[in-house]
Amino acid sequence: MLTPILLSSILGVFSEQTPLEVQNLFEAYKDEYDHDFGEEDANRLAIFHDNLKFIDEVNSRNLSYKLGITPFTHLTNDEFREFVTRGYSLGDWQQTMLRGIDSEAQTFGFEGSVDDDLPMRVDYVEKGWVTDVKFQGTVCGSCWAFGVAGALEGLHKNVTGQLVSLSEQELIDCSRAYGNNGCNGTRHLNDSYEYVADHGLETERAYKYVGKDGQCRRDVCEYAIKAGTISHVNVKSNSSSSMLAAVAFGGPVSAVSCAWAGVFQNYKSGIIKGGECGNLPSHVVLVVGYDRGHDP
């Protein structure tokens, strides 16, 4: 049986493996991600094998990114889409996540030429504005909380000089009155920023992430961001120049992307071009930089 460490690093040619090797790989996969499929085991093995073939087919094209085994490799793409959208139809999700964005959109006062007036490259990871990569888990639709917390972590670093991990769990537990739905997603990212503007946000250390809905515990009192100290603006949707300006002049940006395609389901590394992942918003991510001189 493969060890979890080996499983995490595999990017090989799965189609060349024997049925026994695929079975062993599947057993290692279940061990690593603590899956017990019970009577569904044979069906999940078949789906797992189909996804391995898809991974091989995509990787054989030598694209700018690589696929591999992920926590979602036992799901069909329809099941993954259901997980990402939390049961919304894609059309409803698009209308929900884009509500009011363009009517309030700004470009951070940027009126110049992208080619002449913006930095060629910005990387907030290198600048130390971004905390370590976090894992939201596979059962809680909390991407919105991570996207918002990540942007605020960058803002906090810029203002105070200190990089502090902020509490996604507080957003999940405490901001329902603002329109958020905990592990079932959010209506709009604005709702989370409005909550933080009114109440502040505690540190991750004080209010730890558990990956499930819980009662609000806003009494820990280790606030990295105080109430009344932030505001936010929206960036014009589908505008690369507005996004570049927001990142260059504002810091890390929480953004909504399309993430239900098979390439995201099994993504491991590299750069996915926009046209290869669909065009309906379904997942909140953190934009931490750009490189206008790099063509994937």
Reported as a single tens digit per residue, the pLDDT across 239-278 is 888 889 899 988 999 988 877 778 889 999 988 876 666 6
In this predicted structure, what is the pLDDT of residue 96?
Answer: 41
In this predicted structure, what is the pLDDT of residue 272?
Answer: 83
At 64, which CATH number?
A: 1.10.287
Please list, in sequence order, all residues whose beta carbon lies within 8 angstroms of the beta carbon of residue 126, skipping any fewer than 6 positions away: 289
**Same-domain check for residues 139 and 273:** yes
Between 87 and 25, residue with greater pLDDT = 25
- Can you tell me the mean pLDDT for 15-20? 84
Which residues form the domain of 111? Answer: 82-291
**Same-domain check for residues 58 and 108:** no
Q: CA-based angle 113:119:122, to the nearest 5?
A: 135
**Same-domain check for residues 229 and 256:** yes
**Same-domain check for residues 16 and 132:** no
Q: Is the confidence at residue 209, as pLDDT, over 70?
A: yes
Scanning the structure block, which residue is given the tokens 């806003």? 218
Four-point Cα dihedral 242, 248, 250, 254, nearest 10: 70
In this predicted structure, what is the pLDDT of residue 160?
Answer: 93
Residue 296: pLDDT band by 50, 70, 90 thresholds?
Answer: low
**Same-domain check for residues 37 and 111:** no
Lowest mean pLDDT across 126-130, 138-142, 284-288: 138-142
**Same-domain check for residues 19 and 97:** no
In this predicted structure, what is the pLDDT of residue 2?
Answer: 38
User: Is 28 among the domain residues?
Assistant: yes
Question: Would strands 105-106 and 234-235 be described as parallel, antiparallel, or unpaired?
Answer: parallel
Domain-terminating residue out of 46, 74, 102: 74
In this predicted structure, what is the pLDDT of residue 257?
Answer: 81
Between 107 and 294, residue with greater pLDDT = 294
In this predicted structure, what is the pLDDT of residue 206?
Answer: 92
User: Is 296 among the domain residues?
Assistant: no
In this predicted structure, what is the pLDDT of residue 148?
Answer: 95
Domain-terminating residue out of 74, 91, 112: 74
pLDDT averaged over every residue in the chain: 83
For 228, the token pair is 């009344």
Sign of CA dihedral 223, 227, 233, 238: positive
**Same-domain check for residues 126 and 261:** yes
- Count Cβ atoms within 10 A of the Cβ of residue 287 and give its class: 0-12 exposed, 13-18 middle, 19 or more buried: buried
**Same-domain check for residues 87 and 109:** yes
- Can you tell me the mean pLDDT for 81-99? 54
Domain-terminating residue out of 74, 90, 125: 74
**Same-domain check for residues 125 and 15:** no
**pTM score of the predicted model:** 0.78
Amino acid at residue number 105? A
Residue 91: pLDDT band by 50, 70, 90 thresholds?
Answer: very low
At 89, which CATH number?
A: 3.90.70.10
Between 264 and 52, residue with greater pLDDT = 52
**Same-domain check for residues 55 and 175:** no
End-to-end CA distance of the chain: 36
User: Is 114 among the domain residues?
Assistant: yes
In this predicted structure, what is the pLDDT of residue 151?
Answer: 95
Between 79 and 296, residue with greater pLDDT = 79
**Same-domain check for residues 193 and 273:** yes
pLDDT tens digit sequence for 228-242: 888 888 888 778 888
Between 223 and 174, residue with greater pLDDT = 174
**Same-domain check for residues 49 and 108:** no
Between 68 and 1, residue with greater pLDDT = 68
In this predicted structure, what is the pLDDT of residue 276?
Answer: 65
In this predicted structure, what is the pLDDT of residue 30?
Answer: 95
E-strand stretches of 100-228: 105-106, 121-123, 201-202, 223-225
**3-state class (DSSP) for residue 254:** strand
Q: Is the confidence at residue 106, as pLDDT, over 50?
A: no
Residue 156 CB neighbours (<10 A): 23
Between 237 and 144, residue with greater pLDDT = 144
In this predicted structure, what is the pLDDT of residue 3?
Answer: 39
Number of structural domains (the chain) is 2
In this predicted structure, what is the pLDDT of residue 60?
Answer: 93
